Amino acid sequence: MTNAEIFTKICTLIAPLNKTGTEVQPGTTFQHDLEMDSLTVMDLVAEIEDEFDILIPLNLLPDLETVQHVTDAVEKILTKGA
């Protein structure tokens, strides 16, 4: 799965949680642009894990500030597992 395909799937998962109506771009931040609180972010992480059948290590979460950061992390986890 390509980085672009992963990004598109993640955007689809973000859509119902995007209360600000912000257009999601690679540099979009969860806290500032999408105004997501920590509970919403954790719900999104759970959905991403289910969608891609992966586990995102908790120690990675503080570094995942933008949609592209999450996309890259998912790609790396998928590649490692292959």
Domain range summary for the chain, segments of one domain joined by +? 3-17+26-81
Question: For every residue of the chain, which 3-state class applies, written as one string?
Answer: CCHHHHHHHHHHHHHHHCCCCCCCCCCCECCCCCCCCHHHHHHHHHHHHHHHCCCCCHHHHHHCCEHHHHHHHHHHHHHHHC
Written out in words, the top-level CATH class of the domain with range 3-17+26-81 is mainly alpha
Residue 11, Cβ neighbours under 10 Å: how many? 17
51, pLDDT greater than 60:
yes
pLDDT in tens, 34-49: 999 999 999 999 999 9
Q: Is the pTM of this model over 0.85?
A: yes
